[in-house]
Chain A
Amino acid sequence: MKHIFLKLVIAIFSLITVSFALLIPIVTSPKTFFEFPIIPTLEEKARNIFFHVPMAWISVIAFFTSVFYSIKYLIKKDEVDDIKSSSAANLGFIFCVLATITGAIWARFNWGEFWNWDPRQTSIFILLLIYGAYFVLRSAIDEDEKRAKISAVYSIISGLTVPFFVFVMPRIMTGLHPGSLGDASGKGPLFEAKAMATNMRIIFYLSVLSFTMIYFWILNLKARVEVLYMKNFENKN
């Protein structure tokens, strides 16, 4: 096992962050660092921020890692990069589904319906569609090199459209998420708005960081397995 120290740090770090996110009490008038202020209409549900937002964040990050390795593949034509790109997409799809489900549950209790076609919900849905189209394309081509090349180009092209709906659309369309048009509290996402206290914001960033590290760890595992799989398959032929 390589980098065992780093992996231990990731595990302990995320354990501490998650326990902070779950255990710090929410009170009306916080006095110390270890007390969250109450956010009206959210209350205890405010803790969802620490779990739901990282999932959505990772599904975007995973998509961009896939795009990154696609570009690297087109430059160097190394099969390993193609494998990394497809593994990132594979893992990103899982996190995208998780973000959609957790978001739908949260929406049921805050906005009344599981699905409201809010701009951000729309964009996560489109991200799911892109991942789906990417996998369909990969399964439609038989030759390895051709598949790698064409799916790399497709992932780059769809990657270029991602900023349009992840960042632009929610600010133009009216929506329910904080930060979208028609929301009085602020122009940015929730963690930029005044609604979130400093200590909450710190825990939020830490939780995003720890989930991102977990994501890269799993991605590393997945890519290594896939590389082994490919080599094994080549030896058999």
Chain B
Amino acid sequence: MHPVRKQRLIFVVFVVVFATVAIGLMVFALRENMNLFYPPSKIAAGEAPVDKSIRAGGCVMPGTVKRSGENLDVNFLITDGSADVKVFYSGILPDLFAEGEAVVVNGKLSESGDFNATEVLAKHDENYMPPEVADAMAAAGNAGDGAQHQKTCEVISYDS
């Protein structure tokens, strides 16, 4: 290779490596701030700030959704398998909201450890299947495997 071209190649490699290391370190330093929400285990461990606008995310524990008879008030437990947080909300829930599905709630954590949500977002998983297949899988008690960081709600055991 021509020495001038070789020099330019080294320059290009240097730019890419330098930028990767610099931005990589920045992202690593900010890694906690990159999370959109706190999982219930971090809230239970006291890592989430109280009375500040934050988001919490987890799976809606089956059998815990309680709706008020007169108004839109609803409360339910969200869990990540190791801890759970009680969420209070008043409003219309998204279509995909269901027991055993993931949600991200926006609101404030109270002193008592309950979460007062102003917004509830449904977080759908990465599985797509026709209704017949879903029924068959539910009948067989089969569940998909989760990603490294974000477990799908099927793999969580709700017994704890």
Instruction: Tell me if chain B binds chain A.
Output: no
